[in-house]
Amino acid sequence: MATEGWTPRVNTCDETMQPIAYVNGVFCGMEEAKVSIEDRGFQFADGVYEVIAARGRQPFRLQQHLERLQRSADAIGLAVDLDSLTLPKVIDEGIARCGYEDVMVYVQLTRGVAPRKLECFAATRPTVVATFRALPVFSHELRQRGVALRSVRDTRWAYCSVKSVSLLANVLLKRKTQQDGFFDALIIGPDDLVREATSANVFAVVNGILRTPPLSEHILHGVTRDYVLECAKDVGIESREEEMLLRDVIAAEEVFLCSTTKDIVPVSSIDGQTIASGLPGPVTRELLQLFPSSRGR
């Protein structure tokens, strides 16, 4: 079942468009892509990843995504030189090969194939995988009316700033909240401080100021989060990176999520409590207009 609000951007009449994969230097069809069952990414979730949106076949903020991928690899001690992998060239070729105009690029690095032991082997060759699919289109209706969140206590691991392939806790949080009729979970720390959603950063307009939780190990250092802050500065919207209590976010004038594939998604309610008027506010609307998707790309 598709996630609420998403539809694939697929032209089924054009046979030149198809999802493709890249595995350790070789492009192939998705059904042909294979890795060993002894890959540490499969056995231990011992790997990191990035998702990049390419609209009009142009990757958005590619350098920032690759820099974050390198930071994640460094954080888990995965010895890989991204420059040697020529990922920008791989990504450009993959986008051209798949044929879609708007592409979701997924890049994953794992520690590679080794006997199943917890110990890491320095000589293990990393596994490099990339996939290229049609970029999903977020529902215009949901973007106009906003989405409902439910607050949940954080059950994830302690290093959420690392973009790890180990996402089971996020999967379970999102699955449960969607089963209960909510769009996503708003993750809250033990001190009632807002952290993020399962796959998005969170912003709130409180007393006229755009606020978002500060960077820490508890949240992903979002590429789109940075872009929102840059856009706010460019158009003269005052912003602050500071801690926010759940009660303050619920009482905010505006709340929205942001991520690579969603851009900006307004939040209409949290825990059944309506945010202000329940409709996207002026700051949310103004910032959304600065994203490539709102300009047709």
- 117 classed as catalytic: no
CA dist 173 and 169 (Å) reads 6
The catalytic residue among 34, 163, 174, 233 is 163
Residues that are catalytic: 163
